[in-house]
């Protein structure tokens, strides 16, 4: 019989980093780590603005991780798929998986 998992083994406290954050990754991620966050959920806009490698460095330097890549869904006017393949390809190159 295995020991039950604690809640700390299963949950990562992550911040949803949307397009309107005024801070660069290095400053923002550092502040989030100081506040107890363990990860960041990234949307396409900040990923494009600062680049995948810069996010990877900022997260690694602070012992954090990308908890989720949040694709943009436009169910009203979009004619294409829900996931932006370009974003996933960029993220996969540095080890974030869609």
Q: Domain limits at 32? A: 13-93
pLDDT digits over 17-53, tens only?
876 778 899 999 999 999 999 999 888 888 888 998 9
Give a yes or no: residue 1 inside a domain.
Answer: no
- CA distances to 1, 4, 15, 72 from 27, in Å: 45, 37, 14, 25
Decide if 5 is inside a domain: no
Note the pLDDT of residue 91.
Answer: 67
What is the tally of structural domains in the chain? 1
Check residue 57 and give its pLDDT. 94
Q: Is residue 68 part of a domain?
A: yes
The DSSP annotation for the chain comes to: -PPPPPGGGT---EEEE-TT--S-HHHHHHHHHHTT--EEEE-HHHHHHH-HHHHHHHHHHTT-EEEEE-----TTT--S-SS-HHHHHHHHHTT---
Question: Residue 80 falls within a domain, yes or no?
Answer: yes
């Amino acid at each position: 019989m295995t020991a039950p998992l604690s809640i700390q083994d299963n949950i990562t406290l992550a911040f949803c980093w949307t397009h309107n954050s005024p801070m660069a990754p290095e400053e923002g991620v550092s502040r989030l780590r100081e506040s107890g966050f363990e990860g960041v959920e990234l949307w396409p806009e900040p990923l494009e603005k600062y680049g995948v490698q810069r996010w990877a460095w900022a997260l690694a330097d602070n012992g954090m991780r990308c908890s989720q890549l949040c694709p943009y869904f436009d169910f009203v006017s979009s004619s294409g798929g829900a996931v932006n393949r370009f974003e996933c390809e960029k993220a996969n190159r540095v080890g974030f998986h869609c």
